[in-house]
Amino acid sequence: MLLNGAEIVIACLKEQGVDTVFGYPGGAILNVYDALYKHREEIRHVLTSHEQGAAHAADGYARATGKAGVCLATSGPGATNLVTGIATAYMDSIPIVAITCNVGVSLLGKDSFQEIDIAGITMPITKHNYIVKDITKLADTIRKAFQIAKSDRPGPVLIDIPKDITANQTEYTPVTVNTEGIKTVSVSEEEVEAAVQMIEAAKRPYIFVGGGAVLSGASKELKEFVDKVDAPVTDSLMGKGAFPGTDPRYTGMLGMHGTKTSNYGVSGCDLLIVAGARFSDRVTGNTEKFARKAKILQLDIDAAEMNKNVVITQGVVGDLKETLKRINEKLPKQSHPEWLARIREYKEKYPLKYHQDTLTGPFIIEEVYRQTNGEALLVTEVGQHQMWAAQYYKYTKPRTLLTSGGLGTMGYGLGASLGAKCGCPDKTVINIAGDGCFRMNMNEIATAVRHHIPIVQIVVNNHVLGMVRQWQDLFYDERYSATVLRDAVDFVKLAEAMGAKGIRAQTQEEFAEALKEALSCDCPVVIDCQIGADDKVWPMVAPGAAISDAFDEEDMEE
């Protein structure tokens, strides 16, 4: 059949099973939006308030559903506004396809109005990108883009289409495509055997779970693996929910704001088994002092991660789900009662603690857990509230904590929560933000209202940039440079001005009531929670220190 380029874009999206796209129109992409209008009953378009919100929404949709998220933007500033969202997805290996349109082919490279080399700009932050100058190659390019985004280690792909290509016509032939993605990395039998031997020889094994366990859908295999190894389990921020946070073997997060139990346990183990994690500096602290008593066994789909940040003893390269299946088949049941008893002693001696007599970030997260029975899908911005959400909510399923781990993008969460709710309409979706982060993209509350997306937005409002101020307090002699946000902004009035419901909470009781009301309300709700400016995230590891040097408020007082 004869179609123009814009119609081919929509036809290819339908081939891929795309049901929702997020975007913002403009001159260069008008033909695509015209074609989208004709198919509006098949593909929902969510008009965000800013293109950055569209990129984050596509990311949140992908993280929540496991499918590729799609965002659209016009040329020039429209395309560049996607960049932060694309980089966020790239750092966390999230499959999104960003479709931008550019000036016509004859105008490229001539500094035309709203022209930008978006392919050049995004080259370092995409798995691959394309500029399509030949309409006969458009359909195959879109199909390749989705396959690349979802295959092996996932990530974002950008397609830039000049406007005349969206208007030109060519013959289009529908095809049936594989929408699952392809795992091309085969697991080496030799590496599996070596891994099994290392595990059998260990007396004090520890399992460290990263985001790869979520992306590969390896939760079932991971649980079986943990039972076989008989070891305690810690995770990274990105690994939350891959292994149940309610399991007795779980010891909390690892690293800068990890639990003392996990930090001390990993520092004292003789084998660290790393399942789909990349040894971020926030996890390792001083790499020269990280797990110095342990052999390290790393299981990861990306060979480039082996020996990149930490020198390992043995690696197994391949999709984590398949790798764990293979190891589970060969590994006899292990038993480490003394080691697990020592870890239980750590858990009893070093529990997470916070001040119980006032409204605090930890109380907010625990109350959310209580009222949602641990079944909510939590999204966060970046900062203190993000760490509290990681520490105090017990994630029992994968894809239930969506957060910017690698890039640390303030302003990520609200857009991502919209995408998550669109992808999982039956789930309760709650975005946890600090007041500094909320300011970044709070205009997306208008998007939630416009499209009737009933998310709950909790603002942990301490009137400062909390995490940066915490560092200033501890390491900069209380020089609070540019971190105090004492101004006249009223988030309740702001929410109401955009058509949402706004509620303010200053006490534990007020927050509990506000959350109860928000969860029963079929509309976007903003809860402004007033907490103290000096509240801190504990424990903490100082910059350049070993994770075994984690300290908390009691250590500071002593």
Q: Which of 91, 253, 440, 467 is catalytic?
A: 467
Domain of 307: which CATH number? 3.40.50.1220
Residue 39 token pair: 């198919």
Domain of 7: which CATH number? 3.40.50.970
Q: What is the pLDDT of residue 138?
A: 98
Together in a domain, 39 and 163: yes
Q: Is residue 551 part of a domain?
A: no
Q: Is residue 547 part of a domain?
A: no
Q: What is the pLDDT of residue 181?
A: 78
Q: Is residue 542 part of a domain?
A: no
Q: Is residue 404 part of a domain?
A: yes
* Residues paired with 22 in a beta bridge: 46, 71
Per-residue pLDDT of the chain (558 residues; tens, 9 = 90+): 999 999 999 999 999 999 999 999 999 999 999 999 999 999 999 999 999 999 999 999 999 999 999 999 999 999 999 999 999 999 999 999 999 999 999 999 999 999 999 999 999 999 999 999 999 999 999 999 999 999 999 999 999 999 999 999 999 999 998 877 777 778 999 999 999 999 999 999 999 999 999 999 999 999 999 999 999 999 999 999 999 999 999 999 999 999 999 999 999 999 999 999 999 999 999 999 999 999 999 999 999 999 999 999 999 999 999 999 999 999 999 999 999 999 999 999 999 999 999 999 999 999 999 999 999 999 999 999 999 999 999 999 999 999 999 999 999 999 999 999 999 999 999 999 999 999 999 999 999 999 999 999 999 999 999 999 999 999 999 999 999 998 899 999 999 999 999 999 999 999 999 999 999 999 999 999 999 999 999 999 999 999 999 999 999 888
Together in a domain, 48 and 145: yes
Together in a domain, 115 and 9: yes
Q: What is the pLDDT of residue 552?
A: 95
Last residue of a domain, one of 314, 329, 349: 349
Count of residues in the chain = 558
What span, in angstroms and rounded, lies between the C-alpha atoms of 125 and 55?
13
Residue 511 is a catalytic residue: no
Q: What is the pLDDT of residue 486?
A: 87
For residue 126, the enclosing domain spans 2-171
CB of 376 within 8 A of CB of 349? no
What span, in angstroms and rounded, lies between the C-alpha atoms of 456 and 150?
29
Together in a domain, 252 and 345: yes
Q: Which of 114, 334, 371, 506 is catalytic?
A: 114
CB of 328 within 8 A of CB of 204? no
Residue 298 is a catalytic residue: no
Amino acid at 531: I
Together in a domain, 518 and 398: yes
What span, in angstroms and rounded, lies between the C-alpha atoms of 265 and 406?
24
Q: Is residue 81 part of a domain?
A: yes
Nearest Cα to Cα of residue 471 among 461, 481, 462, 463: 481
Together in a domain, 322 and 372: no
Q: What is the pLDDT of residue 180?
A: 79
Together in a domain, 36 and 167: yes
How large is the angle between the packed helices 83-91 and 51-65, nearest 10 degrees? 30
Looking at the structure of the chain, the number of domains it has is: 3
Q: Is residue 183 part of a domain?
A: no
Q: What is the pLDDT of residue 479?
A: 97
Q: Which of 7, 16, 22, 51 is catalytic?
A: 51
Residue 467 is a catalytic residue: yes
Global confidence as pTM? 0.97
Together in a domain, 302 and 219: yes
Q: Is residue 182 part of a domain?
A: no
Together in a domain, 337 and 382: no
Nearest Cα to Cα of residue 302 among 155, 499, 458, 120: 155
Residue 397 is a catalytic residue: no
What span, in angstroms and rounded, lies between the C-alpha atoms of 15 and 141?
13
Q: Which of 163, 321, 347, 501 is catalytic?
A: 163
Catalogue the E-assigned strands of 358-510.
Answer: 377-380, 401-402, 429-434, 456-461, 501-505
Together in a domain, 471 and 412: yes
What span, in angstroms and rounded, lies between the C-alpha atoms of 73 and 79?
6
Residue 115 is a catalytic residue: no
Supply angle C-alpha 277, 283, 55, rounded to 5: 65
State the sign of the Cα–Cα–Cα–Cα dihedral 386, 390, 394, 395.
positive
Together in a domain, 227 and 166: no
Together in a domain, 146 and 11: yes
Q: How far is CA 319 from CA 187, 280, 302, 324, 557, in A?
A: 8, 20, 9, 9, 46
Q: Which of 113, 203, 288, 475 is catalytic?
A: 113
